[in-house]
Structure formats: C-alpha cells, structure tokens
Amino acid sequence: MLESLTGLGLATSAGLNAYIPLLAIGVLARYTDLITLPDNWAWMENGWTLAIVAALLAIEFVADKVPVVDHVNDVIQTFVRPTAGGLAFGAASSSETVTVTDPGSFFTSHQWVPIVVGGAISLGVHGMKAASRPVINASTAGFGAPVASTIEDIASVAMSLVAIILPVLVLLFIVLLFVAFWWMMRRRRRRKEEKAAARWAQAQGYRPT
C-alpha cells in the first residue's frame, strides 16, 4: 500500500513539473539511503541522466513563468509529463524507501501497469494545471504566471519528498490540490457569469436614437 502511495505522489508531482520527481528520485537514490532503486531502474541515478534532467528542468523553470510561453510549454508537456509520471510511478513502486522495505511483490506480474497508471495520473494533473493557467493569466494580466508557476514548483518538490519519506501524507496533498483546482474553476465560472450579466445590463440600457 505504501509503495502505491509513493508512486501516486511522484506521478502527481510529475503532472505539475515533469522533471522534479525524476531528479528527486535520482539524486536521493545516488546520494542518500532514502530510496534504493532496483537494477532495472538504476539508470535514473546515473550522472548523465541527472545532468540531462537538471538541464531540462532549468529550461521548463524559465518557460513556465512567462505568459504565452507557458501555454506553449503546457502543450509540449502534454506528452512529457505523463511519460515522466509513468517512469516515476514505475520506479517508486519497485524501490525500497525509508517506509517501504519489501516492494518486490508489487505489480510483479505486470511491470507495465504502474507505468500506465502513473502516466494517467500525471496526465490528469497536467490537464488541471493547463486549464487553470489561462484563468490566472487572464485575471492578473499575465503577472500571476510566475507566481503560480513558483507555487507549482514548490508543491512538486514537497510532493516528491513527502511521497518518498512520508507517503501517508500523499492523499492529503492530493485533496488540497483538487480543492485549489475546484476553487480556481469556480472563480472562472463566476467571472464569466459576471461578465455576461454586465453585457446584458449594458444591452438593456442601450437605446438607439
């Protein structure tokens, strides 16, 4: 059960930022005892892998904070984030962590299952992120993009660490994420209703001469 929560948390994190959970897994596996990857996932802690992921993270870190560019980035990440989520879930579900000491029996008969599950989770979270960003940009004239992106990056880091160190808190993080998305969509709907009401009132008050 705990390994599934670890995978769930990392896949959710990948939906916000594709590279943070992959870098977290690789760095923690290479330099600490918090997570031990099995042989078939050892490539994630390779120095070259970490350097490439870090470079890609730096690019996304900048691109996701610029209005309009962030939308283009989200389109590209529609394919990247689910892939990263699948890899993160697959690696986590078969790794030893500080809370999971015997993950060997998890998904042993179908190794592709956690990858597909992780990809689906990341795609769903990515969809929420992509849907909320235009609302933030429109309501703040684009100034909210870097703030929202920074919050998402911090949430992705926190979710990755919690998933590995204390996976029982993953569900709480996910609930908070959905609540934030629900609030954002409700605000968007309210703004649309207010604009529609204003246009109707303006039309009612207009009398051609």
Tally of domains within the chain: 1
Comparing CA positions, the residue from 21, 16, 18, 20 lying closest to residue 6 is 21
Structural domain of 138: 2-173
Looking at residue 105, its pLDDT comes to: 53
Phi, psi dihedral angles at 105 (to 5 degrees): -90, 0
Quote the pLDDT of residue 50: 95
pTM for this prediction = 0.79
Tens-binned pLDDT, residue by residue, of the chain (209 aa): 677 788 888 999 999 899 999 999 999 999 998 888 888 889 999 999 999 999 999 999 998 888 888 888 888 888 899 999 988 888 887 777 766 555 655 555 556 677 787 888 888 888 888 777 777 777 776 677 788 888 889 999 999 999 888 888 888 888 888 887 787 777 767 776 667 777 777 777 655 54
User: Could you tell me which of 106, 113, 52, 108 has the C-alpha nearest to residue 80?
Assistant: 52
- In the prediction, which pLDDT does 107 show? 52
Query: Which residues lie across from 36 on neighbouring strands?
Result: 96
Report d(CA 92, CA 107) in Å as an integer.
11
Do residues 23 and 54 make contact, with C-beta atoms less than 8 angstroms apart? yes
CA distance 166 to 162: 5
What is the C-alpha to C-alpha distance for residues 84 and 80, in angstroms, rounded to an integer? 6
Decide if 67 is inside a domain.
yes
Which two three-digit tokens encode residue 192? 């649309």
* Long-range CB pairs of 42-48, under 8 A, 24+ apart, other chains included: 44/87, 44/91
